[in-house]
């Protein structure tokens, strides 16, 4: 029987982190090849070619790195890979997987995984996560799902997944939809398919577009907002309180900024849609949207920031950006 070919691309993170040198703590050291070799069961599932794409703690990954990674994944699939597994740090997995989901338009599964316990600890979860990810990447069931995150034997859509705990191996959750499926005795099960997929096309040689992400809090007077444009950001996402509410003192600075660069209104709650027509107080969602802010819909601040940055990078102007956020889930 011929086994499917799966490409594994490693970017660093806890899954690859061991002690090296005399400094404190672990740092990314193991390559993709070493990770795959450490799990002999993988050879029973797929023929794997592994390569180190980057060797970084995951907050160091940039959107430019991910644009390059998306091109490399497409190339691997064109060359015959049935699926691709990316290993990286879990701190930003919800962001990098979402960028891959937006940039790639493939049927082949693209699975992003990592580990919460590094290889020097008892109960290290990297080997189990890597094996489950290869099983998902090689499966028919996961085709057409877009990019997914597989950890702790669960399959999560990149569009919804969030890291919710600093250390738990059950840290990944996908509010409000839950996981798309799971891996049982080595078999991937897909119980849920999302109704929509979204895609952003980038022109060759597109330039990074820095988008700021700021959170609202009680009593804030908005003095940071005028600095956003001055510092060279080309967009802002504000993670407002509740359904999209900010203190009234921030409305003027936010409205001024929204007249100059796209400003997206997200919620800091972590689940649910930004409201559009419920509250009428100064600083409410109706007030902010009437002053030119764009509702993030069901996307959280992190994901809204990445979508906005990629749309700006694609050359989209404010109208098209608004339409894209509005069309989400319609």
Residue 119 binding ligand GLU, by CB under 6 A: no
Residue 65 binding ligand GLU, by CB under 6 A: no
CB of 117 to ligand GLU, least distance (A): 9
Q: Looking at 57, 175, 178, 247, which residue binds ligand GLU (CB under 6 A)?
A: 57
Only one of the segments 2-10, 65-73, 83-91, 126-134 lies at the binding site for ligand GLU (rule: CB under 6 A); that segment is: 83-91
Residue 26 binding ligand GLU, by CB under 6 A: no
Nearer to ligand GLU, 45 or 50 (CB): 50
Site size toward ligand GLU, by CB under 6 A: 10
Residue 129 binding ligand GLU, by CB under 6 A: no
Only one of the segments 19-27, 67-75, 86-94, 207-215 lies at the binding site for ligand GLU (rule: CB under 6 A); that segment is: 86-94
Residue 14 falls in the annotated catalytic set: yes
CB of 2 to ligand GLU, least distance (A): 34
Q: Looking at 6, 7, 8, 14, which residue binds ligand GLU (CB under 6 A)?
A: 14
Catalytic residue, candidates 14, 169, 250, 324: 14
d(CA 133, CA 113): 7
CB of 10 to ligand GLU, least distance (A): 12
CB of 114 to ligand GLU, least distance (A): 5
Residue 32 binding ligand GLU, by CB under 6 A: no
Residue 273 binding ligand GLU, by CB under 6 A: no
Residues making contact with ligand GLU (CB under 6 A): 13-14, 57-58, 89-91, 114-116
Catalytically active residues, by annotation: 14
């Amino acid at each position: 029987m011929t086994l499917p070919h799966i490409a594994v691309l490693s970017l660093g993170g806890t899954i690859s982190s061991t002690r090296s040198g005399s400094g404190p703590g672990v740092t990314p050291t193991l390559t993709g090849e070493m990770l795959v070799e450490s799990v002999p069961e993988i050879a029973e599932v797929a023929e794997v070619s592994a390569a180190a794409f980057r060797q970084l703690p995951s907050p160091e990954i940039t959107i430019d790195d991910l644009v390059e990674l998306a091109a490399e994944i497409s190339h691997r699939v064109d060359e015959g890979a049935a699926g691709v597994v990316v290993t990286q740090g879990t701190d930003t997995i919800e962001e990098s997987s979402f960028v891959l989901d937006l940039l790639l338009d493939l049927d082949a599964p693209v699975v992003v995984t990592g580990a919460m316990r590094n290889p020097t600890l008892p109960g290290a979860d990297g080997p189990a996560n890597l094996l489950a990810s290869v099983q998902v990447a090689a499966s028919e069931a996961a085709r057409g799902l877009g990019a997914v995150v597989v950890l702790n034997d669960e399959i999560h859509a990149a569009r919804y997944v969030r890291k919710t705990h600093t250390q738990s191996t059950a840290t990944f959750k996908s509010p409000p939809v839950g996981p798309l499926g799971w891996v049982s005795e080595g078999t991937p099960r897909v119980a849920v398919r999302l109704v929509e997929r979204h895609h952003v096309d980038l022109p060759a040689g597109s330039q990074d577009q820095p988008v700021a992400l700021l959170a609202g809090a009680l009593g804030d007077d908005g003095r940071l907002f005028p600095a956003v444009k001055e510092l060279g950001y080309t967009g802002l996402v504000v993670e407002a309180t509740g359904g999209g509410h900010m203190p009234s003192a921030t409305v003027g600075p936010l409205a001024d900024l929204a007249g100059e660069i796209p400003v997206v209104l997200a919620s800091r709650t972590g689940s649910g849609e930004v409201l559009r027509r419920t509250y009428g107080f100064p600083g409410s969602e109706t007030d902010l949207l009437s002053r030119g802010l764009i509702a993030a819909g069901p996307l959280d601040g992190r994901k809204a920031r990445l979508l906005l940055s990629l749309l700006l990078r694609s050359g989209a102007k404010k109208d098209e950006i608004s339409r894209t956020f509005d069309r989400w889930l319609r």
